[in-house]
Structures are given as C-alpha cells and as structure tokens.
Amino acid sequence: MKVLVIENYPSAPAGLFGAWLERARGARLHVVSPEALDGAPEADLIVTLGSPSGAWEDIPWVHAQRRFLLDRLAAGTPVVGICFGAQLLASAIGGRAAPMGGRTFCGWYTNDHVADEVWRGPWVRWHGDHLEVPEGTEVLARDQGTVQAFHHRTPEGVNAVGVQFHPEVSAEYANYYATKTPDMLARAGTTPEAIAAQGAAVEGHEAALDALFTEMLRRAGVGGASRSAAGVTQTAAPHPVSMEA
C-alpha cells in the first residue's frame, strides 16, 4: 500500500500512525510538505496531518490543499485527516471549521458521544477550533460541543475519515508539546505536570491504538490484515512546536 503523507508542519509528523501503517500494513510512506503537492505521486491513501494554521485561514497553501483533497477524492483516493487535516477535509466536503473563541484543548480527553467505543479514548487533543460536518456525514465522536471524528462517503463511493484528536501522538510527545505551548496550556487551564500525569494514567493504549487505526482504515475503505501495534514508539521532536491543530 502506498500512502501519501502531507506533513503540514515539521513538528507534526505521522508519528505512531505512520509507524503503525508501515508495521501493521506494510505501507510505503511518501511524505511531502503542503507546498509540494503539485508533484505528489498517486497513492492508495492520503493522510493529511496537523498544523498551527487553521483550515479557516485565508492562506494560499491551505486553499491549494483543499482543492487537492477534493481532486484526489474525485479521482477515487480515500483520505484520512488528523486535527488540522480533519478540519481541512471537513471544509472541503462542505463542512466548516472556525476558532472556538479563546477556548483550547490541551492534553488527554475522552469523547463523550461515540458511534463505537473504539473512538472513546482518552486521546491527545491539542487545538482551539470548532468543527462541523455537512448533512449526511456520519459523526463518529463528539465532545464539548464539537465534532471529534467523522466518516464521509462521496456520491462516487470514496471514503474520507477525519479525527480532530491526535492518535498519532504518544504520551512522551504530548509531554514535549506541553513544554513548547505555554500560551495554549494557559488558555486550557492546565500544566505540563497535569498532562504528564494524564498520560501516565492511560492503560492499554497500544491495544486501543491498534483498534482505532484498524477502524480508521476500515472506514476509509483500505483493507489488509492487522498485526499488533506493540513496540511502536515516538520520540520527542527536534523542531519547535506550536500546535493549534
């Protein structure tokens, strides 16, 4: 399986999800920046990742990527969007992303309303944006007034899956984020110590990740046998972090 990964920010890599795709699905990842989409190869799946930018911002590369995702969906390629990627995907299919007005999520959160327990969490969440999806799109998870996961199927039968949380982020990486985003933590009313304690308390995370990633691919219409996600790790990034999405 060939996977095109759009890395929208250097400190927001595919992380645990990318490692799982390689290990459990034998995927070959082709990583590109959002400015390099013109020459992006064909793929069996597109994964678009997080960014400090918002999908609602009037930025040329944001508009260009939205058109790119629509074109690839129309051509039959399924898409998985994570955080900013989910927001961009939602806006591409007729939904909407907008700032929450000063509110911010930073840390580990459980989704209150889920279509299945696989979406429940707790998962790392690091954004300050509200997400809406168009009528006919299935909401898979919702929490505190905003969509946290969704599944969309185009009229042509092509699938798109978005998660507003960060399943690709490990506890160690979340702790790293917490040291680099003090303003966001202040708005969220939390601290690096609290986030580290939340991560340390999470049990069975590798099995939960394997189940979630498997379901994400099933919803995206991408098959293949699953193996355990055990042993997949993510180390702290060497780049500065400023994650809003």
What is the rounded CA–CA span in Å between residue 230 and residue 240? 28
156 given a catalytic annotation: no
205 given a catalytic annotation: no
Which of 7, 130, 151, 168 is catalytic? The answer is 168
What ranges make up the beta strands (E) of 102-239?
A: 105-109, 113-114, 123-127, 129-132, 138-143, 146-153, 159-163
**DSSP letters for 67-118:** HHHHHHHHTT--EEEETHHHHHHHHHTT-EEEE-SS--EEEEE--SEESSGG
Which of 127, 130, 151, 166 is catalytic? The answer is 166
7 given a catalytic annotation: no
- Characterize the bridge pairing of strands 96-99 and 129-132: antiparallel
Which of 83, 127, 130, 244 is catalytic? The answer is 83
Q: How far is CA 148 from CA 52, 82, 141, in A?
A: 17, 10, 5
3-state secondary structure of 32: strand
**DSSP letters for 51-76:** -SS-TTS--HHHHHHHHHHHHHHHTT
- Considering only CA atoms, which of 43, 66, 223, 77 is closest in space to residue 158? 77
- Considering only CA atoms, which of 35, 41, 42, 50 is closest in space to residue 80? 50
Catalytic residues: 83, 166, 168
